[in-house]
Chain A
Amino acid sequence: MESFAYQAPDSLDAAVALLAEQREASVRTQILAGGTDMIVQLRSVDRAPRMIVDIKRIPETRSIKLGADGLILGAAVTGAELSARDDVTAIYPGLVEAADLIGSTQIQGRASVGGNLCNASPAGDTIPALIANGAICQIAGPGGWRELPVEDFVVGVGRNALEPGEFLVALRLPAAQPRSADAYLRFTPRSEMDIAVASAGVRLAVDEDGVCTEARVAIGAVAVTALLVPEAAEALIGTRLDDAACAAAAAASTAAARPISDKRGTEAYRRTVVGVLTRRAAVIARDRALGGQA
């Protein structure tokens, strides 16, 4: 590993100022959250020197606020911290499951949802779950504060929409509808310590009669970025989420996927499996939403 500089500002303002200063001085900077992507990359792919700015001492990045307006999830909250919160798990079980799939017990102690999103891997597990939940990125930078939907945040493989000097502070998830739930599934040949071959996140709400009133479906690992699939959502809305509707949503995901063939799976395989996962995730979300009613 090359030598590098390290700073850990303890407030939002200090972090914004430090990043602006470094940008002026044309110093390459990189944000550090849990480091489970970054340190691996620093040791293998990209070893060039840089200043590392650790955001974990900034209170806003470490807090979980659940209220009537929804959830504000600090960007550096770890998977272990998130899954310890039963109140959050009750409302966003799919997102918590997605975060919980990352790595192993050891990795869970460091890995953050924000880091997973900013790392912008096509197979990042929390990204489809965030998109399905309509999550919004809260970004701080030299120009102030801005918000951006997650589906617009990831712009390519390993690339996100942050401008120089900006960083992700938190994720904002809208308040959950009554009788609504989410679910996330990924397919990996192994049970853990693996990377998604395809994945699907579904959030949906049903009315008192069990008819689907709202739905969002997002798929992962089948294109350069996770995709929001409105056609799959449309296939669910207005139905009782019966087999035919779930199969139609599956077909919509299969059609929307733009996978490649590689060592992890062929194009045809990924298309098929992303449909299977969409169908199964829709069924889980439906059962959760209906179960919540009882």
Chain B
Amino acid sequence: MSEAIKAEDFKQIGSRPIRPDGLDKVTGRANFGADFSLPGMLHGRFLRSPHGHARIRSIDVKAALAVPGVKAIVTGKDFPDVEPGDIQGGEGGGDYHDMAVNVMARDKVLYHGHAVAAVAATSVRAAEEAVRAIKVEYEPLPVVLDIDTAMAPDAPLLHEHLYTEGLPEKPARPSNVAQVMESSRGDIEAGFAEADVIIERTYYTPTVHQGYIEPHACLARWGQDEQSTVWCCTQGSFDVRSMTARVLDISVSSLKVIPTEIGGGFGGKTTVYLEPVAIVLSRLSGRPVKLVMTREEVFRASGPASASKIKLKIGARKDGKLTAMSAWMAYEAGAFKGSPMVPGVMCVFAPYDVPAFKAEGYDVLVNKPKVAAYRAPGAPQALFATESAMDELARKLNMDPIELRLKNAVRDGSQAAYGPKFHAIGMEACLQAARAHPNYKRPLGPNQGRGVAVGFWFNVGMQSSAEIHINEDGTATVIEGNPDIGGSRASMALMAAEELGIPYKDVRVLVADTEAAGFTNVTGGSRVTFATGMAVIEAARDIISQLKQRAAALWNVDADMVDWVDGKVVARPGVNVEADPLSLADIAAQSAKTGGPLLGRASLNARGAGPSFSVNLCDVEVDPDTGKVDVLSYTAIQDAGKAIHPSYVEGQMQGGAVQGIGWALNEEYIFDAEGVMENAGFLDYRIPVASDLPMIDTQIIEIANPGHPYGVRGVGETPIVAPLAAVANAVNAATGLQMTELPLSPPRILAALEAAKG
């Protein structure tokens, strides 16, 4: 494309204007999932399992139906049987049949909080009273709450008909291991034999939650014409449509999904919990139905991130060169198969060029809520292990941890452990920036320590659509289908403005519903600025080619006699035209004369997503008397390819760092022996608060991704990957301990300090 803008010529890309949705969000005017209401609307509440694992003997709703104000009650038998099949779309694994059973339990409850029934009533109070009046007879079953118990030969089974997939042949007996996978290259035995130093440890990470501030919420209206409309907070309205249609066995054309503003998702809002239930309640009652989770329900019954157990072994020569790496990786899926074990296996060695490796993965069922995606699903757990071991190796070899990583870093032409050859990646550049960073040289005091860790995420492309409508004054509206969770409207507007040669403020961006936007995959996989951005750029170029045609027609020359230069159509040098160059506004003003309204569009399946590497530096101080860790300084360095809007790239880096620090230090689901989560609230599920942390320093590295017209690579997920090990390595440096289990909560650190004293 001759018009492609070269990086050095950018006029607006890389600037930092205020996001279009910013004012509404800070003033409270923005409408989120729970903000929508309709006349005659009913309020729904759930009855949820009080057991971690039980068979449902019977459900009696008679008394509940008699509660004044109750209009409908649904249980598992009000939902169709859904055939098994891999979930398409969304973000993360799983099966449609399981999804349907997760939405509403059938013969068994598989975790504490599993939905058993739902009531719609004229008030929340009546709905709650009815929920209390539902009588359920359960036969409690033994609960399985961790990987070791689940994988034991005589373990109680969650699903009696589940047989491990990924083995050469179907096993004789059912199991709690849904899938195994292996990935290897080279001669691993020879590699370890060649090693001068070997590090071998087992690492554990707990079940954690994304902690989005907005609970799941939806409003559904079923119509007698069998057409339903759903308003909901989701990362993917088309995914809600396809999943809900599948769970209810209806056609996608009978369902319209209108995405509301979304108060955080981080991967957790890429599936359905409420929408199918709200539609069935609406159908049975003939009234619109609103369902809003409480915070407690969000913890107990949405999709947290996998707990993991990873046995890692790495070998290196004295000079620091890695000779072999092996990993045994088990990820908890929760009550249904589909943990991010596969990406975990694929990325555990991704940052390093190692001649021999082997990784085996296990997708393990336990009586906890089914996991959902959480930023870079599977990678934080995997790289916590790898980067902790690399740190220990550096200490053993008495080598600078960045030096050790540079020695083994993947670079242009390296064969990624997960398959392809790397091309134009930022691993080395990030490491070099980290080594040169002033924060890497800050003097440390007593009880203080510094940690380094590398982060990585593949990033994806997938399908996106965009339309640009040009107004009569030459301003523009971009129509796309990705709910804006991280400032993407601003990035889309910047890209459209850059291409069209109009000011940023003249571009409005509409996140449209499933009937107004072209099909678009989920806001996830760090794909939106990359893939949907590519669609916006192509839609703008579609307009530019129309502008050229129209100008050429006005000037009575051939379309190939004109060029698009600096936001204007100009005649090619040497072409004799007696008129001034025409801007978008000039042509828009004459649209009636030149062929009607200007509308550009593009739809694509984006290829060429470039992976994003990061390096994080963390300084901590550990209180030797209480075990409390204070983060003193934190630095995130990451390759963004090209930062369209640097503030929102930095925002992603800072937000991911904070979530990763929370995962490292205090966040964990605490279960009692019966599988009841004991800390289902933000008081005792401790995400960091602002005053816990220093400002997160950021440094954006820009190694242009050749797969995107502006060089963009996704940045949303990599930021959460490095912090787990960066924090742990800093704690180890401060204390001399070797912590292998998260979270590094004060009691755990104090116990380790006391054990080390002997």
Interface of B is mostly: loop
In the complex, what distance in Å separates the CA atom of A111 from the CA atom of B150?
47
Q: Is there contact, CB below 8 Å, between B626 and A190?
A: no
* Distance, CA A194 to CA B687, complexed state (A): 11
Residues of A within 8 A of B (CB): 2, 187, 189-195, 197, 262-266, 269, 272-273, 276
- Using A189-B628, A190-B688, A276-B626 as known contacts, say yes or no to A269 and B746 having CB atoms under 8 A apart: yes
Interface string of B90-119 (1 = CB under 8 A from A): 000000000000000000000000000000
Q: Quick one: closest B residue to A273, CB to CB?
A: B626
Is the CB of B169 closer than 8 A to any CB of chain A? no
Partner of A190, one of B670, B678, B679, B692: B692
Q: Bound state CA distance, A269 and B679, in angstroms?
A: 19
8 smallest A-B Cβ distances: which pairs? A269-B747, A276-B625, A191-B691, A263-B678, A263-B670, A191-B692, A263-B679, A189-B666
Complex: how many Å from CA A193 to CA B681? 12
CB-CB under 8 A for A194 and B679, given A189-B666, A263-B670: no
Query: What are some 25 contacts across the A-B interface (CB < 8 A)?
Result: A189-B665, A189-B666, A189-B686, A190-B666, A190-B686, A190-B688, A191-B691, A191-B692, A193-B689, A194-B686, A195-B683, A197-B746, A262-B678, A263-B670, A263-B678, A263-B679, A264-B684, A265-B746, A265-B747, A266-B747, A269-B746, A269-B750, A273-B626, A276-B625, A276-B626
Q: Does B745 contact A (CB under 8 A)?
A: yes
Residue B125 at the A interface, CB < 8 A?
A: yes
| Range for the number of chain B residues in contact with chain A | 20 to 34
- The docked-state distance in angstroms from the alpha carbon of A189 to that of B670 is 15
Interface of A is mostly: loop
In the complex, chain A residues whose CB is within 8 Å of the CB of B689? 190-193
- Residues of A within 8 Å of B628, CB to CB, are 187, 189
Q: Are B688 and A2 in contact (CB under 8 A)?
A: no
Expressed in whole angstroms, the Cα–Cα distance for A273 and B678 within the complex equals 22
- Chain B contacts for A276, CB-based, 8 A: 625-626
Given contacts A194-B683, A263-B670, A273-B626, A189 and B678 within 8 Å (CB-CB): no
- List of B residues within 8 angstroms of A190 by Cβ: 666, 686, 688-689, 692
Query: How far is it, in angstroms, between the C-alpha of A190 and the C-alpha of B626 when the chains are bound?
Result: 13
Give Cα A187–Cα B679 distance, bound, in whole angstroms.
Answer: 18
Nearest-Cβ distance from residue B544 to partner chain A, whole angstroms: 51
CA distance A269 to B748 in the complex (A): 9
Please give, as numbers and ranges, the residues of chain B lying within 8 Å of A194 by CB-CB distance: 683, 686
A194→B745 CA distance, assembly (Å): 14
- A269 to B750, alpha carbons, bound, how many Å? 8
Chain B residues, CB < 8 A from A193: 682-683, 689
Binary flags per residue of B658-687, CB closer than 8 Å to A gives 1, else 0: 000000011000100000001100111010
Given contacts A187-B746, A189-B666, A269-B750, list 19 more A-B pairs with CB under 8 A.
Answer: A189-B628, A189-B665, A189-B686, A190-B666, A190-B688, A190-B692, A191-B691, A192-B691, A193-B689, A194-B686, A195-B683, A263-B679, A263-B684, A264-B684, A265-B746, A272-B750, A273-B625, A276-B625, A276-B626
Give B630's nearest chain A residue, CB to CB: A191
C-alpha gap A135/B683 in the complex (Å):
29
The closest CB in chain B to the CB of A277 belongs to B626
Measured in the bound complex, the distance between the Cα atoms of B625 and A57 in whole Å is 46
Closest to A192 in B: B691
List the B side residues contacting A273 at CB < 8 Å.
625-626, 746, 750
Q: Which residue of B lies closest to A262 (CB)?
A: B678
Q: How far is the CB of A194 from chain B (nearest CB, A)?
A: 7
Alpha-carbon gap, A262 to B747, bound state (A): 12
Q: Which of B125, B625, B686 has the most CB of A within 10 A?
A: B625
A168 to B696, CA, bound (A): 46
Cβ of A145 to closest chain B Cβ, rounded Å: 37
**Residue of B666, B691, B745, B747 most packed against chain A (CB within 10 A):** B747
| A262-B180 Cα distance, complex, nearest whole Å | 36
* CB contact list, B619-655 vs A, under 8 A: 625-626, 628
| A191: chain B residues within 8 A (beta carbon) | 689, 691-692
A189 and B746: CB pair below 8 A?
yes
Chain A residues whose CB sits within 8 angstroms of the CB of B746 once the complex forms: 187, 189, 197, 265, 269, 273
Q: Is the CB of B684 within 8 A of A2?
A: no
Chain B residues near A2 (CB, 8 Å)?
125
Distance, CA A36 to CA B403, complexed state (A)? 53
Which A-chain residue is minimally distant from B691 (CB atoms)?
A191
Query: Chain B's nearest CB lies how many Å from the CB of A108?
Result: 14
Task: Report Cα–Cα, A26/B689, bound state, in Å.
Answer: 44
Chain A contacts for B125, CB-based, 8 A = 2
Q: Mark B410-431, 1 if CB is under 8 A from A, else 0.
A: 0000000000000000000000
Q: Determine the distance from Cα of A273 to Cα of B625 in the docked complex, in whole angstroms.
A: 7
Contacts of B683 in A (CB 8 A): 193-195
The answer for the CA separation of A269 and B623 in the assembled complex, in Å, is 14
* Nearest chain B CB to A53 CB, angstrom units: 24
Q: Roughly how many angstroms separate A266 CA and B626 CA in the complex, as a whole number?
A: 13
Closest to B748 in A: A269
Q: Which residues of A contact B686 (CB under 8 A)?
A: 189-190, 194
State how many angstroms separate the Cβ of A198 from the closest Cβ of chain B. 9
Contacts of B626 in A (CB 8 A): 187, 272-273, 276
Distance between Cα atoms of A276 and B747 in the complex (Å): 14
Q: Shortest distance in angstroms between A36's beta carbon and chain B's nearest beta carbon?
A: 13
Complex CA gap A292/B750 in Å reads 35
State A2–B123 Cα separation when bound (angstroms).
Answer: 11
In Å, the complex CA distance between A187 and B626 comes to: 8
Q: How far is the CA of A89 from the CA of B133 in the complex (A)?
A: 53
CB B51 to nearest CB in A, in angstroms, measures: 20
Chain B residues with Cβ below 8 Å from A262 are 678
A195 to B685, CA, bound (A): 12
Distance (whole angstroms) from the CB of B112 to the closest CB of chain A:
15
Query: How far is it, in angstroms, between the C-alpha of A284 and the C-alpha of B745 when the chains are bound?
Result: 26
Q: Per-position contact with A for B120-146: 1 when CB-CB < 8 Å, else 0? A: 000001000000000000000000000
B679, A189: Cβ atoms under 8 Å?
A: no
Tell me the complex Cα distance, A272–B751, Å. 11
For B691, the chain A residues whose CB sits under 8 A away are 191-192
The interface residues of chain B lying within 8 Å CB-to-CB of A266 are: 747
The smallest C-beta distance from A76 to any residue of chain B, in angstroms, reads 24
Task: List the A side residues contacting B625 at CB < 8 Å.
Answer: 272-273, 276
Nearest chain A CB to B179 CB, angstrom units: 32
What's the minimum C-beta distance from B403 to chain A, rounded to whole angstroms? 34
- Cα A194 to Cα B679 with chains together (Å): 13
Cβ distance A75 to chain B, nearest Cβ, rounded Å: 25
A273 to B745, CA, bound (A): 14
The minimal Cβ–Cβ distance linking A49 to chain B, given in whole angstroms, is 11
- CB-CB < 8 A to B692: which residues of A? 190-191
Residue of A nearest to B668 (CB): A263
Restricting to B580-628, which residues have a CB under 8 Å from any CB of A?
Answer: 625-626, 628
Specify which chain A residues have a CB less than 8 angstroms from the CB of B684 in the assembled complex. Answer: 195, 263-264
Question: Which residues of chain A come closer than 8 Å to B670, judged between CB atoms?
Answer: 263
Contact bitstring B428-453, A, C-beta under 8 A = 1, else 0:
00000000000000000000000000
Q: Could you tell me if A189 and B750 are in contact, using CB atoms closer than 8 angstroms?
A: no
Contacts of A197 in B (CB 8 A): 746
Q: In the complex, what distance in Å separates the CA atom of A262 from the CA atom of B672? A: 10
